[in-house]
Structure 1
Amino acid sequence: MEGSETLKGIIMAGGRGTRLMPLTKNKPKPMVSVLGRPVIDYVKDSMVHAGISEIIVTTGYQGEQLVSHVDSWDINGRVNQEEQPMGTAGSVKLLADSLDSTFVVGSGDSVASFDIHDLIQSHKKSGAKVTMALWSVDNPSEYGIVGLSSQHREDLDSKLEEGFISKFLEKPKPQEAFSNLINA
């Protein structure tokens, strides 16, 4: 990364993982093993590869297991435990006072195939306050969806692949889905 900016990464890891039971009965969802490694390690590796030098993991359910795991990473990492569930991005809001420059937020249970470094560069070039990686899915009812508009605060346009974020809806019923784009 150019300049001396310290890039921070936030990995949200607070969910209960009910759809993965019994795998998550005694461990948080990001600690479920995929190809012999906890899935959160793949997320961390992607962030480190992009030049992120500090990672904060926000936790809730079974979060104490993540403390020792994050301590074993060879990067500046720490865990921020939620006292009570704050929702998908609520844990990020709790960190607002310590986020004074560009930062990346990822989910501790999602491995994406895009390059985070490229996303950061696109964000900086755009001048946008927020850049969100989106992915198109066949069944948006299983995810939180994002609606886009071509201009700030305009009507939603379901044909857009990029634009202004105008609306969010968590796990809509099929008849409520206004988009098939989800947060990647």
Structure 2
Amino acid sequence: MSMKAIILAGGHGSRLLPLTENKNKTMVELNERPIIDYIINSIEKSGIKDITIVANRFIEDIQNHVGNKANFVLEETPKGVANAINLARNGNEGCNLLIWFADNLTNIDLNPEVRKFNEGALLLSREVDRPEDFGIAVLKNGVVVDIEEKPTNPPSNFAIGGIYLFDKTFWERFDEVSFEENFSISDVSRQYVKEGLARIISIGDNSWLDCGTPENLKIAEKLVKQGIF
């Protein structure tokens, strides 16, 4: 079954102010190229050609830069993750999905996973220093048995968040939980986990960075110059 990609680039970009005062966060540059270039490059390398970008009022700048490499959906008023995901529903039902939150950069090669993906969910993880800031995997004998969102007492330091592969049942699962207060995509992932349909893979020696803060942007800039991204 074919797979399509959704890039979530909405919201206010408040963590990157003042850089995002007049531009979308994905148009912030790393080594003279906007972040969106690195994301699209990773997705295209995975073999996915059908990409939808959900973005805020600066969407036209992304359109002008990316051109026909993607479809575009305007998030007129940021209303949370559930609304942003739902905006991308049209044209992305009945297929497997890669959902990519645009704060994330990674150099992991997803092509082998995309090619063999059939059902369930694939959750990328990495070890983090502040697990209380992330959705964290609860592991039992190396298998993920639950996900706790920003836990006070983290059960591990394996963060899950930012990049996901879901099968065609994603939308029906999404509809079951998207109305809940403080919805996060972990609420969908958890359904797959509890049915034994989720698999977790670590990025291992690969790099993965949340570039949504000024501090991490500086790190990302160095990694880009080193050719890692």
Q: By the TM > 0.5 criterion, same fold?
A: yes
Tell whether 2:18 aligns with 1:22.
Answer: yes
In structure 2, the residue matched to 1:78 is: 71
Alignment partners' CA distance in 2, 1:123 and 1:148: 23
In structure 1, the residue matched to 2:128 is: 137
Alignment partners' CA distance in 1, 2:106 and 2:82: 18
The one-letter code of the counterpart of 1:62 is F
Structure 2 length-normalised TM: 0.60
In structure 2, the residue matched to 1:163 is: 144
Identity of aligned residues (%): 27
Q: What residue ranges of structure 2 are gaps of 5+ in the alignment?
A: 163-229
Alignment partners' CA distance in 2, 1:40 and 1:63: 12
Alignment partners' CA distance in 1, 2:83 and 2:112: 26
| Superposition RMSD in Å | 2.5
The one-letter code of the counterpart of 1:138 is D
- Alignment CA distance shift 1:48-1:89 (3 Å): farther
1:87 maps to which of 72, 80, 88: 80
Structure 1 length-normalised TM: 0.73
Q: Could you say what secondary structure the match of 1:131 adopts?
A: strand
Q: Could you say what secondary structure the match of 2:53 adopts?
A: strand
1:7 maps to which of 3, 10, 22: 3
Deviation at 1:176, TM superposition (A): 4.6
2:101 maps to which of 107, 126, 131: 107
- The structure that is helix-richer by fraction is 2
Alignment partners' CA distance in 2, 1:177 and 1:25: 34
Deviation at 1:110, TM superposition (A): 1.5
Deviation at 1:146, TM superposition (A): 3.1
Q: Could you say what secondary structure the match of 1:8 adopts?
A: strand
- Alignment CA distance shift 1:149-1:20 (3 Å): same
Deviation at 1:137, TM superposition (A): 0.6
- Alignment CA distance shift 1:59-1:117 (3 Å): same
Q: Could you say what secondary structure the match of 2:44 adopts?
A: helix
Deviation at 1:50, TM superposition (A): 1.1
Q: Deviation string for 1:72-107 (max 9, x for gaps)?
A: x5x3x1111123324235422333353211121112
Deviation at 1:43, TM superposition (A): 0.7
Work out whether residues 26 and 62 of structure 1, in 8 Å CA contact, stay in contact via their aligned partners in 2.
yes
Work out whether residues 31 and 40 of structure 1, in 8 Å CA contact, stay in contact via their aligned partners in 2.
yes
